[in-house]
Amino acid sequence: MPEQLLFAIEVTLNGLMAGVLYALVALGFVLIFKASGIFNYAQGVMALFAALTLVGIQQGQVPFSHLINAIFGTHIHHFPWQVPSIIAIILAAGVMVFFAWLVEKYILQHLIGQPDIILFMATIGLAYFMEGFGDMMWGSEIKTLDVGLPQGLNVAIDETTYGWFGYGFFIDNLDLVATLVAIVLVTVLVIFSQYTKQGRALRAVADDHSAALSVGISLRFIWVLVWSIAGFVALVAGIMWGAKSGVQFSLSLIALKALPVLMLGGFTSIPGAIIGGLIIGVGEQLFEFAIGPMVGGATQNWFAYVLALVFLIFRPQGLFGEKIIERV
C-alpha cells in the first residue's frame, strides 16, 4: 500500500478516537437538552471542574487553600494524606451530584418558563462562575491526572500493522480505553433511558413538562437526576482528557468542540451525538492532514464549526433532529 494511504488510515483511526471523546461531551449536552430543553454551555467547565475536584481529592489538597492563605496569611496547601483513585472518583461523582442539586435549587427553579435563549445565556454565566470557583477552590496551576489508566503507544497494534503493511500504526492506549469506556457508558445510558422507570419519566419530561407533571412525575427529581448524570459524564470526559493533556483551563474548551457535534447530530439525539462526534473527529483530522499544510495548519480551530454551519444551511434540524414544523 502507498505510504500516503497508510498515513490517512492512521489519521482516520486517531480521528475516530478523538471523535469518541467529542461524542462523550456532546452526550452530556444531549441528556440535559432532552430532559429540560436547556442548552447547557457549562458542560465543558463541568468536565474541568470534575477533573479538578478528582485531582484535588486524590492528592489531598486543602480546598480554598489559596483564599485561606491570602486572608489569614497562613501557608496550608495539602492534607497529610493521599486518597486512592477509586475512592476519589466516587467522591468526585458525589460532588457532581451535589452540584446538580445546587444548580436545580438555585438556578433552574427560578428560570422555569423563560425563553430557551435566556436559559442558554444563564448557563454561560454558570460556566463563568464555575470556572472561577474551580480555580479558587483548587488553584489554577496545571495538574497531572493519573488514575492508573494505561498510556502511550499500543505495542501490539504497532507490531501487527507493521507485520501487515510494513508500517506500524501509532495508536495511544489511552484512546483505546476512552473508546471502550465511551461505548460502555453509552450502552448503559441507552438501557437506562429505555428500560427503567426513571428513564421513562425522563423521556416523558423531555416530551412535555406539564403533561409529565400532571401524571405525577417530579420535575425537580428528574432535573437533579439528569444534571447528575451529565455531571458524571463530565467526570468521565474530564478523566479522559485530563489524563491525556493535563487538567487545566483548556480542558473546558472541549465544550466548544462538542457544540458543532451537536449541531451536526441534532440536539435531541443520542445516536446523533455519537455519529456527529465521529464525523467531526475524523473530518477535522483528515482535513488538517490533507488541506492543513497548504493553508498554514491549525484548521482544527474552525473546521468543525464551518462544517456544521454548511451542513445546517441544508438541514437545519441536524442529522437526527426532529423536523421543525412552524405554525401560527
Partner 1 sequence: MFYREAGDFKTSYKDDNQTFPIRLDRMGYYIVMFVAFCVVPFFVNDYWVNSVFAPFLIYAIAALGLNILTGYAGQVSLGTGGFMAVGAYAVYKLMVAFPDVSIVIHVLLAGGITAVVGVLFGLPSLRIKGFYLAVATLAAQFFLVWVFNKVPWFYNYSASGQINAPERSVFGVIVTGPNTEAWAKYMICLVFVVVLAWVARNLTRGMMGRKWMGIRDMDIAAEIIGVNPLMAKLTAFAVSSFFVGVAGALFFAVYLGAAEAGESFGIAKSFLILFMIIIGGLGSIFGSFAGAAFMVLLPVLLKNVLVGGLGWPTDLAAHLEFMVVGGLIVIFLILEPHGLAQLWRLTKEKLRLWPFPH
- The answer to the question of residue 136 lying near partner 1 (CB under 8 A) is yes
- Residues 185, 256, 286, 319: which binds partner 1 (CB under 8 A)? 256
Could you say which DSSP state residue 247 is in? B
226 vs 33: CA distance, rounded Å: 10
Cα distances (Å, whole numbers) of residue 115 to 69, 74, 112, 120, 122: 43, 47, 9, 9, 11
What is the closest distance, in whole angstroms, from the C-beta atom of residue 142 to partner 1 in the complex? 13
Does 262 bind partner 1 (CB under 8 A)? Our answer is yes
Q: Which stretches of the chain are DSSP H helices?
A: 3-36, 43-58, 65-72, 85-106, 116-138, 155-165, 173-195, 197-207, 209-214, 219-245, 254-265, 270-290, 292-295, 303-314
Residue 142 makes contact with partner 1 by CB under 8 A: no
Task: Give yes or no for residue 122 binding partner 1 (CB under 8 A).
Answer: yes
Could you say which residues in the range 280-319 bind partner 1, by CB under 8 A?
295-299, 301-302, 305-306, 308-309, 312-313, 316
Cβ closer to partner 1: 128 or 162?
Answer: 128
Instruction: Quickly tell me which residue has 499544510 as its cell.
Output: 293
Nearer to partner 1, 62 or 312 (CB): 312
Give me the least distance between CB of 59 and partner 1, in Å please.
Answer: 19
* Choices 49-57, 238-246, 252-260, 271-279 (CB under 8 A): range interacting with partner 1: 252-260
Contact 230, 31 (CB under 8 A): yes
Applying the rule CB under 8 A, the residues between 68 and 97 that interact with partner 1 are 70-71
Which of 168, 242, 260, 265 lies at the binding interface for partner 1 (CB under 8 A)?
260
Q: Are 273 and 29 in contact (CB under 8 A)?
A: yes
Dist CA 2 CA 134 (whole Å): 49
For residues 34-54, b (16+ Cβ closer than 10 Å) or e, as one string?
Answer: bbbebbbbbbbbbbbbbbbbb
Up-side HSE of residue 201: CA atoms within 13 Å toward CB?
Answer: 17
Would you state the cell numbers that stand for residue 120, as one nine-digit string?
442558554
Residue 8 vs 121, nearer CB to partner 1? 121
Q: By CB under 8 A, is residue 249 in contact with partner 1?
A: no
Give the nearest distance from C-beta 167 to partner 1 in angstroms: 31
Q: Is 325 in the site for partner 1 (CB under 8 A)?
A: no
Any contact of residue 127 with partner 1 (CB under 8 A)?
A: yes
- Pick out residues in 171-230 that bind partner 1 (CB under 8 A): none
Cα separation of 328 and 128, whole Å? 38
| Phi, psi for 304 (deg, rounded to 5) | -60, -40
Please work out the total of residues on this chain that contact partner 1, with binding judged by CB under 8 A: 50
> By CB under 8 A, which span of 79-87, 106-114, 188-196, 272-280 interacts with partner 1?
106-114
Residue 32 makes contact with partner 1 by CB under 8 A:
no
Q: In the complex, which residues of this chain contact partner 1 (CB under 8 A)?
A: 39, 66-67, 70-71, 107, 110-111, 114, 116-118, 120-122, 124-133, 135-136, 140, 256, 259-260, 262-263, 267, 295-299, 301-302, 305-306, 308-309, 312-313, 316, 326, 328
